[in-house]
Amino acid sequence: MSNHLHGDADTMAAAAPPPDTANAIEKAPKEVDIYRDTFIRYMGYSNEIGEAFRPLVPKSIVAASYGMAIGYVCTDTFDKSLRLQRTGASNRDLAILAGDVFSWQMMASVIIPGLVINRITWASRMMLSKAPVGILKTVPTLIGLASIPLIIHPIDSLVDRIMDETYRKAVR
């Protein structure tokens, strides 16, 4: 059983990402990661839209937005795992890659941004607690929605650092 993560440079580039899979996959020449480099990335942020609209919609809608985001995470994990499997990678390498992609996406697309938008919306509501009901319901939602583009890259960078210092070190 070959270990594609520890082969020569040409084999590694063609067959399997190194343990730092999030960065390696993003930097692959001429290959666009549709889950991180295109508009599809925003599917992972559907729960943030749900969080922003929390004051205005039923809880079931917010829960459904989390379902969409987790579906996106699972699709990215499956797609990258399947691509690696087609190269003949070992089960260990597949498990490492799947764990990396799933963990990174859950933290960067669902858990941390969901918490951040929830708290931004909550804080906005607290600051506007004396405002008329129409403002109290709509302005925090608008602030939450406007915050989404501002939090993406800082959270992605934070999650890269977390993964580099934890999971990726452990699987080397």
Q: What is the pLDDT of residue 6?
A: 30
SS (H, E, C) 74-136: HHHHHHHHHHHHCCCCCHHHHHHHHHHHHHHHHHHHHHHHHHHHHHHHHHHHHHCCCCCHHHH
Q: CA of 37: how far to CAs of 16, 27, 65, 107, in Å?
A: 19, 10, 21, 17
Q: What is the per-residue pLDDT for 29? A: 64
Question: Looking at residue 2, what is its pLDDT?
Answer: 33
pLDDT of residue 41: 83
pLDDT value for 161: 98
Are 77 and 101 in contact by the 8 Å Cβ rule? The answer is yes
% of the chain surpassing 70 pLDDT: 83
What phi and psi values does residue 117 have, to the nearest 5 degrees?
-65, -40
Q: Which stretch of DSSP H or E encloses residue 140? A: helix 133-165
pLDDT surpassing 80 at residue 162: yes
pLDDT value at residue 19: 47
Q: What is the pLDDT of residues 7-49, one digit of tens each?
A: 333 333 333 444 455 455 545 466 888 888 888 888 888 999 9
**Paired tokens of 119:** 């708290």
Position 10 scores a pLDDT of: 33
pLDDT at 116 (0 to 100): 96
| pLDDT score, position 23 | 53
Q: What are the tokens at 52?
A: 């922003």
Mean pLDDT of the 102-130 span: 95
Helix (H, G, I), strand (E, B) or coil at 73: helix
C-alpha distances out from residue 142 to 52, 68, 139, Å: 7, 21, 5
Task: Please tell me whether residue 154 adopts helix, strand or coil conformation.
Answer: helix
Provide the residue type at 7 as one letter: G
Model confidence pLDDT, tens digit, residues 38-88: 888 888 889 999 999 988 999 999 999 999 999 999 999 999 999 999 999
